[in-house]
Homo-oligomer: A and B are copies of this chain.
Amino acid sequence: MTEQQTYNAPTIEQEIDVISTYRLEEAASKVIPKGGFDYISGGSGKEFTLQRNDEAWLSKGILPRVLADVENPDTSTKIFEHDLKVPFIMAPIAAHGLAHATKEAGTAKGISEFGGTIMSISAYSGATFEEIDAGLNGNPRWFQIYMSKDEEMNKNILDEAKADGATAIILTADATLSGNRERDLENKFVYPFGMPIVSRYLTGSGKNMSLNNIYAQSKQKIEPADVKFIAEYSGLPVFVKGVQTPEDAVLAIGTGAAGIWVSNHGGRQLDNAPGSFEVLAEISEAVAGRVPIVFDSGVRRGEHIFKALASGADIIALGRPVLFGLALGGWKGVKSVLEYFETDLKRVMQLAGTQTIEDVKHARLFDMKK
């Protein structure tokens, strides 16, 4: 019995009509098998933080601006050596194969067809570098690492990622063990396929293993020395991902991080953490422009991208909505979702009287709680 027979991931490839990503999630829940859908869309514990990620956006309002002389807003920006046509990229997410039979290769193709953005490849990818490469077709990529307890294996993985063309390494530091994923526990969820990149350090391929189990076999004790090791060994810029406090942002920069990745792992790790957007502004103040800030967790609309940029983020990473697009339309669905975000962001920029991303970064938000 093959994987695809066991776990019936969607296979359809089509453009999709995105009215909102919330509707996308609902539609995706009908085509992704329940265990996979709950894994993708769920959070940890009581899902307080998952929900708070969404509610946090409402703490700030965007002010419409008029007589602003704006037309055809320009969404282009730059991160390191990459010129981007939009200020958003793909976040690293494990196991795209839960959403679509083409796995990460499908996502990669959607991204490269959209163009002008970056793919993040997760260490817990279900596809191999080679499979993803076929989809990416030369598009820029970053590699996200879950470290092994064995230094040699980490060197191996970094060698491979670098050989594959990664231009930055994302060190996920907020997942030293699995969050309390109650939905997965209830579903007794295990991955229906292996994880070729990290299988070298797992007992088993990853297939039929629970997330808990896989995390337990990965390195739990992440420390400043790890940032230094990755930066020095790879020679690439390193993002520390999972930063939620000014203290950690400063620590990460001090230890050699080339970028700060503000994220609470989409509400999947420590439940009862604040909404990711709530902590962004004070982290941005602490970073003070020394390194770029990537932001994720809870981004579902153009308004969200606008608010994050106006609160100090340089780049926004998209996660679940892209997977829902993948589920509903394969690589074409991924492209549709990215186009939706581009259109929606342009609309918000126009109505908020901002011509460029730089203008957005200087926009005044309205305190909705006062």
Contacts and interface: CB of A to CB of B under 8 A. Distances in A.
Contact of A272 (B62, B185, B251): B62
Contacts of A221: 69-71
Contacts of A176: 70-71, 350-351
A41 interface: no
Given A176-B70, A366-B279, A19 B186 contact: yes
Interface stretch (A85-93, A196-204, A236-244, A323-331): A236-244
A62 B20 contact: no
Given A64-B242, A174-B351, A45 B274 contact: no
Nearest to A243: B66
B351 A177 contact: yes
Given A67-B223, A223-B69, A351-B177, A273 B58 contact: no
The contact size tier of chain A is 35 or more
Contacts of A62: 270, 272-273
Secondary structure class of chain A's binding surface, majority of residues: loop
Contact of A240 (B67, B244, B352): B67
A64 B279 CA distance: 11
Given A67-B240, A273-B63, A20 B48 contact: no
A78 interface: no
Interface string A10-37: 0000000001101000000000000000
Pick from A72, A264, A303 the residue with the most CB of B within 10 Å.
A303
A72 B176 CA distance: 11
A123 B341 CA distance: 31
Interface string A253-272: 00100000000100001111
Given A58-B48, A274-B366, A368-B274, A64 B347 contact: no
A173 interface: yes
A236 B198 CA distance: 57
A362 interface: no
B20 A64 contact: no
B69 A272 contact: no
Given A182-B19, A269-B351, A351-B179, A66 B274 contact: no
Pick from A46, A72, A226 the residue with the most CB of B within 10 Å.
A46
A252 interface: yes
Contacts of A162: none
A38 to B, nearest CB: 13
A180 interface: yes
A121 interface: no
A290 interface: no
The 7 lowest CB-CB distance pairs between A and B, nearest first, are: A66-B173, A71-B221, A270-B351, A61-B274, A69-B223, A272-B303, A64-B270
23 contacts: A19-B186, A20-B182, A46-B301, A61-B274, A62-B273, A63-B279, A64-B245, A66-B222, A66-B248, A66-B252, A67-B173, A67-B223, A67-B226, A67-B251, A67-B255, A69-B222, A70-B176, A70-B221, A178-B347, A220-B350, A272-B303, A273-B366, A274-B366
Given A19-B186, A20-B46, 16 more contacts: A63-B245, A63-B273, A63-B274, A64-B244, A65-B245, A66-B252, A67-B173, A67-B252, A176-B350, A179-B351, A180-B344, A220-B350, A245-B364, A270-B351, A271-B301, A369-B370
